[in-house]
Structure 1
Amino acid sequence: MSFSYAAEKFGSARLVLMLPHPLGVDQSIATAFFECRQGLDFFDRSLLDDSSSKWVVQLDQLMSTDGLEDPRQEGLFLIKARKLSIDDQFQLSNVVDELQSWFSRRRD
């Protein structure tokens, strides 16, 4: 997948993390997770440099749904979003912003 597509998805993620959150902060974070996942799913991670690789690792850790259950079928990203601390939310915003900028500078 191209740098442009990843930049577009991370741009969308960055926008939903901005105020206001009409459906609530948790839903905004879950939507940002979805956009980030789409931006990275088909991206060749061997194209990442040291900085961007570290940001992607941080993002993967923040988005990890390992061990979570979804008995009400709300969506694992929403459940994960509810578990983030304020520090995690701050880190997520920064990582998404850094990656969006990084991908944008390398657009095809």
Structure 2
Amino acid sequence: MAFGEVIWQFDFLDFHKNQKVLLQPVGVFYTVGVSLTNAHVILHGSQVSTYFNCPPPSLEEYFHGTAEEAWVAREQGYQVDFTGVIPGVMVEMEDLEVGEEMD
């Protein structure tokens, strides 16, 4: 994923006058733009993946991760939910009680 491609796909993200940092969720807009651009590359391919003969993951794997990845992450002590690993959250599973919320 190239930053220029995200801007090319979603012109709205490059229009600085429309990005009101304290009034709009600008980070969410860009995150969604990156996710949708990656989905576009998964569906339509890219020159890089073709050149290196490296097929992209399926949409399901990209958006949800695989069950195997979730189990491996859980065994390594990461907090896991049905969509896979929660990015940036490292919690030792034995430190949590059933029904207890994380800080």
TM-score, length-scaled by structure 2: 0.28
Determine which structure has the larger helix proportion and give its number.
1
Q: Which has the higher contact order (CA 8 A, sep 6+)?
A: 1
The structure with more radius of gyration: 2
TM-score, length-scaled by structure 1: 0.27
Determine which structure has the larger strand proportion and give its number.
2
